Amino acid sequence: MSFSLFLAGVLSAAAPLAAADRIVVTAERRERPLDETAKSVSVVNAEALAFIDADHVSEILARAPGVSLHRGSGAEHLTAIRSPVLTSGAGAGSFLFLENGVPIRSPGFANINGLFDAHYEIAGGVEIVRGPSGALYGANAIHGVVNVLTPSPEDALSLFTEAFGDTEDRYKWKGTLSGTLGDDGFFAGASVTSEAGYRASAGLDQQKLTFRHVRKGAVSIDTVFSFDNLEQETAGFIFGRAALEDRASRRTNDFLDAYRDARSARLQSTFETAVADDTTLKVTPYARWNDMQFPQHFLPSNALEENGHWSVGVQSALYRTAGRLSLIAGVDADYTEGWLREYQSDPTVFSYTQGLHYDYDVRAVNASGFVQADYQASPRTVVSAGVRVDGTVYDYDNLTDSGVVGRFLRPDDRGDRFLTASPKVSLRHEFSESVSAYASYARGARPPQTTDLYRLQINQTGDRAAPEFIDAAELGLRARLGDAVRLDLAGYYMEKRNFFFRDADGFNVANGKTRHLGVEAEVGFSFTEALSLESAMTYAAHTYRFDRITGNASESIRKGDDVDTAPRVLANTRLAWRPEARFRFEAEWTFVGSYFTDAANDHAYEGYNLLNLRGEADITDGLSAFLTLRNAANALYAERADYAFGEDRYFPGEGRTLGFGLRFRR
C-alpha cells in the first residue's frame, strides 16, 4: 500500500465525515474555496476581527503561522512573513500589502509601515498569503501578501457603532452603515483612534474613512474609496537591559521631537461581466495618492524626510473554463510620479552634513502580463502552471547637485529598466473529501525600490541594486476531520539572492544571499459546541548564505549564521469558550522565541510570552459590552530587540492594559 493511501485511510477513519463550512479566499484575484488552493493562506474573518478589536494590526497577523510584526511607535510596524523581520530598504517591497486586491502603494515606492494605511479596523476580512506569490500578484510579493477586504453591503439596512477606552488613555470609535436598495448596495465606515501613548511624547491620532458602492447588472460595478490621516509622536529605542526591566525607565523617550505625519487616499472600481459562456472579464482601474514626512530620529542626522507619490493604473483578468481546463490571463499597468526630499537642520555630525541630502523626482511605469492554467488531470488531481512577466521603467530626475556630499551620494539623472519573470507550478491531490495535499514551486521577484537606486551613500558605486529573486518549494497537507478538527500543515524551502539590506556600517548591500527553511501548522479543535482551541505554530531557520566583513568587526556576516531578528519559534494559541449565545470568552497565548540581535550572532534576546484575555456579553438584542485585558501577566517584554553601537536596545511592549467598550448593532 502506498504511503498516500495509508495516510488518507488513517485520517479518514479518525472521525466521521461531515459537511464543514468552506472558507472562501481571493488568493487568485477571484473568490475560491481555500481547500482548492495550492498555497498557504490564512484568513481572519469579520467576526474574529470584531472580537479582537485590535489596537494594532500586529494583533491580527499574529494569528497566522509564519507571520510576525514588530510593533513600533504608534501605528508603525516591521514585518516578517516566512522571513526575518526586515527593516529599512529590505522591508520595503518584500511584502505586498493590498486593499481589495489592489496594492496600497505603487511598485518601487513601498513603505515598510505600509499596513497603517489599510482600514483593518472595519474590515470584512484579512487574508495572509505566505510565500512568493508573484505569478498572479506581481512584483514585490516576494515573501508574502496581506490583503485587507472591505465589507460587502448588507441586504437590509444595518447600523453598527463601537466606543472603547482603556487604562493607557487609548480611545477608539468606529461606525458603519450598510444596506441595499434594488440593484445598488452601499457601505460606509469610519474609525477614529486617539492614544496618549505608553511612553512619553508618543501619542497618536488617526482617522480613516471607507466608502463602497456595488451595482448589480449585466456589468457589475464595485467601487471603493479609502482615506487615512495619521499624526503621531514617535518614540525610539530605550538602551540597556536595566531600562527594559524598570517600569519607569521603559516609559521614557529620548526622542521627544520625533513624529510621523502621513495621509493617503485610494479609489478603485471593478467592472465584471460575462463576455461568453464560461468566460468572465474583470477590469479594475484605480488611483492613489499619499504624502508623508518624519524626522529620521534613528540616525545622528535627525534629517527631515518628505516623500510621496500619486499613481493611476488598471488591473485586468479574463477567466475561462473549457472542460477540464481553467485559464486566467490578464494585463496590469501602473503609472506613478513620486518624490523624496531629505534635509538636515542640525549641525554636521560625523559624515551627516547639515543641509540638503537628497531632492529628486521619479516617474515610473510598470506593465505586467500573466497567465495561469489549471488542468483537472483526474477527478481528484489538479495540475497548475502560471507565469507573470513584470516590466519596470524608472525615469530619475535629480533636483540638486550630483555627486558626494558628506556620506551622501546623489546620482546623475538617468533611467533604469528591469524585467522579471515569476513562474509557478503546483500539484494538488484529494485523498478523500476531507484530506488533500499539494506540492508547489514558485519564484518571487522584487525589482529595486527607487530608494535602493537613488538614495545612495559613498562607496556604493560598484554595488548597484539589482532585482531580488526568491525560489521556493513547498509541501502542504489539509485535513478536515468532521466538524471537530481542522489541520493545515506546510513545509517550505526558499533561497533568495540579490538580497538588498543595510549592514552594520550603514551601507547598502545589494548582493546578499539567504536561505529560509520552515514548517508551519494551523490547527483547530472543537471539543464541544461551547469550547474550542485554535493554534498557529512555526519553526523556521533563516540563515545567511554569504560572507561580508564590516568595519565593525563584531557585526560581520558569516555564511550559515542566523539572520538577526529571526526567531525560530512562533506560536499563537486561542482557547475560546461560548457557554451560550449571549456570552463569549477567549484566552490568547502568544509566544515569540529567542533570536539574535546582531548579524554576528553574538547577542540575543530571549523572546517572550504574552497572555491576552477577552470577553463579550450581549446586554440587549442590539447592545453588547466587551472587556479586554492585554498582557494580563504584566510581562516586561520587548516588541523589538536590537544590538547596535555596543549596547542592547529595545522597543518596550505595553504593560497590563484593561479596556472596556460598547457595541451597538441595528
Cell of 408: 551622501
Confidence at residue 501, expressed as pLDDT on a 0 to 100 scale: 84
269 alpha-carbon distance from chain centroid? 23
Nearest to 513 by CA among 457, 566, 469, 554: 469
Neighbouring C-beta atoms of residue 554, cutoff 10 Å:
13
List the domains of the chain with CATH numbers. Answer: 24-665 (2.40.170.20)
- Annotate 592-647 with three-state secondary structure: ECCEECCCCCCCEECCEEEEEEEEEEECCCCEEEEEEEECCCCCCCEEEEEEECCE
Longest dimension (CA), the chain: 76
Rounded Cα gap, residues 45 and 33, in angstroms: 14
Confidence at residue 149, expressed as pLDDT on a 0 to 100 scale: 96
pLDDT above 80 (res 138): no
Q: What mean pLDDT comes out for the span 104-130?
A: 94
Rounded Cα gap, residues 358 and 220, in angstroms: 46
Name the residue type at position 531: L
End-to-end CA separation in angstroms for the chain: 58
Q: Under a CB-based contact definition with an 8 Å cutoff, are residues 651 and 72 in contact?
A: yes
Tens-digit pLDDT profile for residues 474-499? 999 999 988 899 999 999 999 999 99
CA distance to 206, 252, 297, 576, 580, per residue, from 628 (Å):
21, 25, 33, 14, 19
Rounded Cα gap, residues 531 and 484, in angstroms: 11
Provide the 8-state DSSP code for 55. Answer: S
Confidence at residue 463, expressed as pLDDT on a 0 to 100 scale: 67
Q: Under a CB-based contact definition with an 8 Å cutoff, are residues 145 and 126 in contact?
A: no
Neighbouring C-beta atoms of residue 204, cutoff 10 Å:
21
Total count of residues recorded for the chain: 666
Instruction: State how beta strands 144-149 and 95-99 pair.
Output: parallel
Confidence at residue 220, expressed as pLDDT on a 0 to 100 scale: 97
Question: Given pLDDT bands bounded at 50, 70 and 90, which one contains residue 10?
Answer: very low
pLDDT above 90 (res 461): no
Q: What mean pLDDT comes out for the span 2-10?
A: 37
Q: What mean pLDDT comes out for the span 443-468?
A: 85
Q: Under a CB-based contact definition with an 8 Å cutoff, are residues 664 and 161 in contact?
A: yes
Q: What mean pLDDT comes out for the span 461-472?
A: 83
Tens-digit pLDDT profile for residues 543-578? 999 998 877 666 889 999 999 999 999 999 999 999
Q: What mean pLDDT comes out for the span 102-127?
A: 94
Nearest to 50 by CA among 130, 112, 125: 125
Confidence at residue 13, expressed as pLDDT on a 0 to 100 scale: 35
Tens-digit pLDDT profile for residues 629-653? 999 999 999 999 999 888 999 999 9
Confidence at residue 465, expressed as pLDDT on a 0 to 100 scale: 86
Percent of the chain with pLDDT over 90: 84
Neighbouring C-beta atoms of residue 523, cutoff 10 Å:
17
Q: Under a CB-based contact definition with an 8 Å cutoff, are residues 631 and 646 in contact?
A: no
- Annotate 233-258 with three-state secondary structure: ECCCCEECHHHHCCCCHHHCCCCCCC
Rounded Cα gap, residues 539 and 123, in angstroms: 29
DSSP letters, 504-570, are TTS-EEEEEEEEEEEEEEEEEEESSSSEEEEEEEEEEEEEE-S-B--SSGGG-B-TTPBPSS--SEE
Rounded Cα gap, residues 373 and 390, in angstroms: 19
- Annotate 583-596 with three-state secondary structure: EEEEEEEEEECCEE
Nearest to 573 by CA among 50, 65, 81: 65
Rounded Cα gap, residues 45 and 43, in angstroms: 6
> Average per-residue pLDDT in the chain?
92
CA distance to 29, 188, 296, 452, per residue, from 98 (Å):
11, 19, 27, 22
Name the residue type at position 419: L
Q: What is the pTM of this model?
A: 0.94
CA distance to 30, 218, 260, per residue, from 277 (Å):
18, 13, 52
Tens-digit pLDDT profile for residues 143-194? 999 999 999 999 999 999 999 999 999 999 999 999 999 999 999 999 999 9
pLDDT above 70 (res 18): no
Confidence at residue 22, expressed as pLDDT on a 0 to 100 scale: 59
